[in-house]
Amino acid sequence: MKSAREILDAPIRKAARGELLLELLSEEIPARMQRRAIEEFAGLVRDKLAVAEIPAQTLRGYVTPRRLTLIADGIPGQQPDRSEERRGPRVGAPHSGEPGTHIPEACVYVGVDGPRRHRMCQAVMV
């Protein structure tokens, strides 16, 4: 058994890489469509993972008449840190309607919708 000092002094290891399993169940997929279906599914997942900065070391696809399965190996333990700056409307910018309506317009711009946008607008109006 290691002592507390040995554990604290040990070098920090990189986060372990994991795997992702995606399985879609469906009605029967015709034999002539199976190969194309798994190729397109794998391509779509590969593209979405790349956009999210989650690279997979390998991506394997399997198909049966009733399911499409993808296994992505080597998924990193965490995404890389990133910084994003978004600017809202300038102070004194014209806006539509009553005072405070620039907040909902800015929320739409950055993708905040539904109850969260309502709460933000209520907080500003008070």
Which stretches of the chain score pLDDT less than 50?
A: 126
User: For residue 96, what pLDDT is reported?
Assistant: 57
Rounded (10°) angle between helices 102-110 and 114-125: 150
pLDDT for the residue numbered 92: 66
* Residue 31 confidence (pLDDT): 92
DSSP states of 31-56: HHHHHHHHHHHHHHHHHHHHHTT---
| Among 111, 36, 57, 69, residue whose Cα is nearest residue 49 | 57
**pLDDT tens-digit readout, 32-42:** 999 999 999 99
The pLDDT, as a whole number, for residue 76 is 86
Residues 51 and 109 sit within 8 Å (Cβ to Cβ): no
| Predicted local confidence at residue 82, as pLDDT | 79
pLDDT of residue 72: 93
How much is the pTM?
Answer: 0.56
| Confidence at residue 48, expressed as pLDDT on a 0 to 100 scale | 92
DSSP per residue over 50-92, as a string? HHTT---SEEEEEEETTEEEEEEEEE-SSPPP-------PPTT
